[in-house]
Each structure stands twice: as C-alpha cells, then as structure tokens.
Structure 1
C-alpha cells in the first residue's frame, strides 16, 4: 500500500484509537499470527467483544484472516500501518511548512 486517502487514515486512527483494539493489534503483532480463539488470552479483552474488535481492525485494513479447518487465523497487514504512518508524516511535514510560513 503506497498511499492512503483521508477516509482510510481516519478508519485506521479510529481502529487503533480504541485501547482494547490497540491491545488486540499489539497481541497479534507479537504473535505473528493468531487463532481467533486465542486473541483474548493474556489480554484484558472480554471474549464476547473479540469478534467485534477483529472486524473493526479488519475493515480498517490492519489485519487479514485465513481459514484453516474450523479455525480462523489473523495476521497483521504491515503495509496498511506503513501507509498510515507515511500519511501522518506527510501531514506533519505540511504542518511544519505552514507553521514556518510568514503570516
């Protein structure tokens, strides 16, 4: 993912802005890949809300899934986070340019 638009950046920001989703995202990053049933293990995440948070992260393009037998496994899509970080760095650069411009 080379670039993202404002709407995509907003989806990613909202997804990662929720403390629970951020914990889940970090947990998946640390594991490399994680079975759906294991996502809430070793985290403060309630099992009843895991599927909702996974859906939001998936809709933001931050995680992907694959089926294996009856299990669903989640992994991070690193290009999405990379695109978001580039988007934010570009905003920061624009902000510095405008801040240093004479009024």
Structure 2
C-alpha cells in the first residue's frame, strides 16, 4: 500500500479505507458527529440519540477507535470519548491528494 505525504499524521491506503468504512456506516457517522459536537462524551451518553442498543454502540465505538478517529480515557467508573482530529485531517489530505492526482491525469493528453 502506498503512503500519502510525509506529515506525522499521514495515512496509507489501508488506514484511509478503515476510516472510510468507519464513517460510511450511518449510525457510526451520527455517533462521530455527536462526539464532535460535544467535544467529549461519556460512554453511556453516546448512544442516547441513536436507536441502537448499548452493545451495538460499543461495537461502533470500537470500530471508530480502531480507525483512529476517536480516543478514550477512563475517569473513575466512566469512559469518555473524544475525536482525534489529526486522523480526520490526515484522511482529508489523503483524499485531496488523490483528487489532485485525478485532475492532473484527467487533463493530460492521452
């Protein structure tokens, strides 16, 4: 797999696919947006506005975490989730780089 750029938060094709798959699920996307809007959310509050059970919310949080999109911290009995903005930024740079390459090739004579 190829890498996109040399910045510390650069991502390779596999990581880009993992992020795309994580955000491609409508429920995970809603959960991700809720965490962004809140800044940080306690695990028990994450699924409040979604029609899914707690075990399903845990699965979605795990997928988002494995994609590097969210991080967590423990405080007492609670787990709190926050967005890792560098991951989304790296993904967006990766996609912009692909788009630029696509435009370059599209404008080249065949």
* TM-score, length-scaled by structure 2: 0.90
Which whole-Å CA distance do the structure 2 matches of 1:6 and 1:74 have between them?
Answer: 25
The secondary structure found in structure 2 opposite 1:4 is coil
Runs of 4+ in 1 over 6 A off after TM superposition: none
Unmatched runs of 5 consecutive residues or more in structure 1: none
Q: 1:52: Cα distance to partner?
A: 0.2
Q: 1:47: Cα distance to partner?
A: 2.3
Most deviating of 45-54 and 30-39: 45-54
Q: 1:48: Cα distance to partner?
A: 2.8
| Residues 27-47 of structure 1: CA deviation (Å, up to 9, x unaligned) | 000110000000011233332
The secondary structure found in structure 2 opposite 1:64 is strand
Unmatched runs of 5 consecutive residues or more in structure 2: 1-7
Which whole-Å CA distance do the structure 1 matches of 2:9 and 2:87 have between them?
Answer: 9
